[in-house]
Amino acid sequence: MFHRANLRNNSKNGRSQVGQNRNSKKKPVAKLTLITEDNESFTVCKKVAEMSMFFKNMLQDTEGIPAPFIVPNVSGYDLKKIIEYCSYHCLDTDCPNDNDSLRSRRDRKIGHWDETFVRNIINKDGDPVIDNLVGLTKAAYFLDIPGLIWLMTKSIANTIDPKPIAEIREIFNVPVPSEREEEILQR
Amino acid sequence: MDPAAPPRPPQIPRLPVRLPVEIIEQIIHYLLPQVSQLVAPAQACRVWYTVCIPLIWRRFAPLMSGKLQYLPPLQHLLRAEYDTMRNMVINVAQRGSSLNPILNFSSNFLLIQEVDLSASARSNPSPDAQISDNLLTFLVNCTKLRRLEVAGCANVKGSAFGLILSVLPSLTRLSIANCDRIRTLADELSQCGAPLAIVNMSGLHDLTDVNESVREVFLQCSRTLEVLVLDWSELPGKGEVYLRDRGADSHLSEDAFISLDDLPPMEHLRELSLSRCTLIGDNVLRHLLPHRGNLETLRLDYCLQTTPFTLTLFLTGCPHLRILDLSDTPSATDAVVSTVATACPHLQWLALRGTLGAVTDASLQSLAAHSTDLRALSLNMNVHVTWLALVHLARACARLEALALVGCVQMIDTPVGELFVEFAQGYDVHCMQFHGRVEIARVANLDV
């Protein structure tokens, strides 16, 4: 039950809505269960889930229905990382959001915690670096979490920034286009 | 998919990473402050390309549409990006016919003013991947095109130039130097309606109708022609070999210049380069006499057929001459040099390499007396030139910056070192090319 441990750790730091609500004892913590495409289930509190516009809209539409949400297109690993990010940032007021201008988003620096977060993703064993970032980016895009999308795109941009074409192709595993393919397309 | 296929093994081949376009756009925006950062991603794959190109063009549109001249403070700012744009065009071009690079700019054809594809040949030695005539044909849609350079593109055979030159109304600069596969060009050039001002046709070693082609350039563009480069010097020695192998008919000769007699003087002609055109002689210079008035640059090195008399006659009418190359020309004598010194008061750059002893101290004295604006002088392999005259010249020409003295054997046993140090301090001598001379090399180390 790693996600529970994860949430508990966060509540100790006082960063999470979970901990605050437990202490206040006025209102039971609204929780919700998420089931990923590979059948892993996670329980998160509502505040954390609402970092995602996808969940927020869905919660508004289906208020009062305690059924677990099935989250397609997102793997267990990705959702675990997303919950880790959202639990840390759910109380932040200055998260990047869709109303920010491109310039402010571009000039924004990656914070210390975020940097460690990205480094942990990159250092995950097995897969090539970019696959982990891209998987999480797609999941964040699907769940519509502006802060995480900003962090991921910024990290990918930093990854490919000074590299030549061949290396970028290698990173994204793009095959070098064959001439015949191009000719067919042109016709 | 085949339903009978076995389940995938754990080590499946990695799939290409595909990202949503909105995500790619965000990534691109974080790279955007320097447009040069976009060049590599744009060429990585087609999706990235489609996202990057509009952003890049948005940066360049004001530049390419000619508004730049009204915004002088922006010029330096945009200069770097403009270079990037050129690299962009060139780099895309390196992917060659497989991508049809020029087609990718089709929506912006109206904006393009300059196309330089010469670097693609340098950085991409494989001839199959280079620019071909079919691609050049698409440039007819660039109605604002002013400069087209395809120097060194080995796949260009010249068939596209007929259409390009007849259709484009503002093309002024054309460089087709070293396009080795061009065989005939006269028919294409005869259709030329463009006001060509700068034409570079050097090194077209396989051109069979070189004389007819040059004649067409004169006939079609005599009113606008400013610079004509017909060097044969890109491949040293090849000119003679070709001349011997293929006969004199296919070499630049008097035939190309006969038509000049019937044309009004070319008032704008300011540069003429005929390096290593070994058949150029007195007859050609006579045909050029009415057109020499505004010449600023003249290169006649290795033009073996000229005589001192005609050369003198020719150079007396070039008062604006700044750059003159008479290297390896047997007719470069003291008399010619003294004529140059008196007739060309603005002379800044003079090359007199390898004149086989025809140039002596008398030349340097006349230069010292008249050509005080001289910046660079090359005297390699002139065995009769002595240090005394040289020092005299260096004292007279206060702006002298470069001297080449390879193989001037008269200067071996002289105290040149001390003298050079003296006038190097008193005068403004920045750079001296003293190759192969021990005594003078020692001087060069003394912070000359």
Residues B362 and B245 in one domain: no
Residue B5 lies in a domain: no
Q: Do A160 and B23 touch (CB under 8 A)?
A: no
Share of chain B above pLDDT 70, in %: 65
Q: Is B126 on the interface with A (CB under 8 A)?
A: no
Residues B132 and B31 in one domain: no
Residues B100 and B121 in one domain: no
Q: So what's the pLDDT on residue B105?
A: 53
Q: What is the C-alpha separation between B106 and B140, in angstroms, rounded?
A: 11
Q: What is the C-alpha separation between B116 and B129, in angstroms, rounded?
A: 16
The residue segments making up the domain with residue B51 are 20-58+72-106
Q: Which chain B residues have a beta carbon less than 8 Å from that of A156? A: 27
Q: So what's the pLDDT on residue B83?
A: 53
Which residues on adjacent β-strands are paired with residue B31?
none
Domain finish residue from B282, B306, B330:
B306
Q: Do B44 and A168 touch (CB under 8 A)?
A: yes
Q: So what's the pLDDT on residue A74?
A: 84
Average pLDDT over residues A79-92: 87
Q: Positive or negative, the Cα torsion across B419, B424, B428, B432?
A: positive
Q: Do A161 and B37 touch (CB under 8 A)?
A: yes
Domain finish residue from B277, B306, B335:
B306
3-state SS assignment for residue B376: strand
Average pLDDT, chain B: 72
Closest CA to A132 of A140, A121, A141, A142: A121
The number of folded domains in chain B is 3
> Which ranges in B175-318 belong to alpha helices (H)?
186-190, 210-221, 238-246, 282-288, 308-316
Chain A's closest residue to B39, CA to CA, is: A165
Q: Which chain B residues have a beta carbon less than 8 Å from that of A183? A: 98
- Distances from the Cα of B413 to the Cαs of A104, A149, B261, B380, B444, in angstroms? 72, 77, 52, 17, 17
Interface with B, mutate which of A98, A107, A133, A137 (most B CBs under 10 A): A137
Asked whether B207 and B184 are in contact (CB, 8 A), the reply is yes
Residues B88 and B211 in one domain: no
Take residue A180 and report the two structure tokens written for it: 């015949």
Residues B130 and B249 in one domain: yes
pLDDT digit string, tens, across residues B270-311: 999 988 888 888 889 999 999 999 999 999 888 888 889 999
Residue B423 lies in a domain: yes
C-alpha count within 13 angstroms, C-beta hemisphere, residue B76: 1
Nearest to A154 among B22, B30, B103 (CB): B30
pLDDT digit string, tens, across residues B6-31: 444 445 566 667 788 888 888 888 87
Chain A's closest residue to B35, CA to CA, is: A161
Interface with B, mutate which of A179, A183, A186 (most B CBs under 10 A): A179
Q: What is the C-alpha separation between B271 and B261, in angstroms, rounded?
A: 19
Residues B283 and B415 in one domain: no
Average pLDDT over residues B342-356: 88
Share of chain A above pLDDT 90, in %: 0
Q: Do A177 and B32 touch (CB under 8 A)?
A: no
pLDDT digit string, tens, across residues A114-150: 888 888 877 665 555 677 788 888 888 888 888 888 8
Q: Do A172 and B16 touch (CB under 8 A)?
A: yes
Residues B368 and B251 in one domain: no
Residue B2 lies in a domain: no
Domain finish residue from B264, B283, B306:
B306
Take residue B4 and report the two structure tokens written for it: 């009978």
Q: What is the C-alpha separation between B402 and B354, in angstroms, rounded?
A: 17
pLDDT at B109 over 70: no
Residue with tokens 């070192």: B417
Residue B432 lies in a domain: yes
Q: Do B20 and A138 touch (CB under 8 A)?
A: yes
Residue B360 lies in a domain: yes
Q: What is the C-alpha separation between B4 and B92, in angstroms, rounded?
A: 43
Residues B100 and B151 in one domain: no
Residues B252 and B174 in one domain: yes
Residue B132 lies in a domain: yes
Q: Do B98 and A137 touch (CB under 8 A)?
A: no
Chain A residues with a Cβ under 8 Å from any Cβ in chain B = 102, 105-106, 128, 130-131, 134, 137-138, 141, 149-150, 152-154, 156-157, 160-161, 163-165, 168-169, 171-175, 177-179, 182-183, 186
| Burial degree of B302 (CB within 10 A; 0-12, 13-18, 19+) | buried
CATH number at residue B389: 3.80.10.10
Q: What is the C-alpha separation between B74 and B137, in angstroms, rounded?
A: 33
Residues B131 and B213 in one domain: yes
Q: Do A153 and B23 touch (CB under 8 A)?
A: yes
What are chain A's domains? 27-160 (3.30.710.10)
The answer for B426, left when phi > 0, alpha when psi is -120 to 50, beta otherwise, is alpha
pLDDT at A25 over 60: no
pLDDT at B3 over 50: no
Q: Do A149 and B19 touch (CB under 8 A)?
A: no
Q: What is the ipTM of this complex?
A: 0.74
Q: Do A156 and B27 touch (CB under 8 A)?
A: yes
Residue B414 lies in a domain: yes
Amino acid at B324: L
Residues B274 and B341 in one domain: no
What does DSSP assign to residue B170?
S
Q: What is the C-alpha separation between B84 and B64, in angstroms, rounded?
A: 13
Residues B154 and B255 in one domain: yes
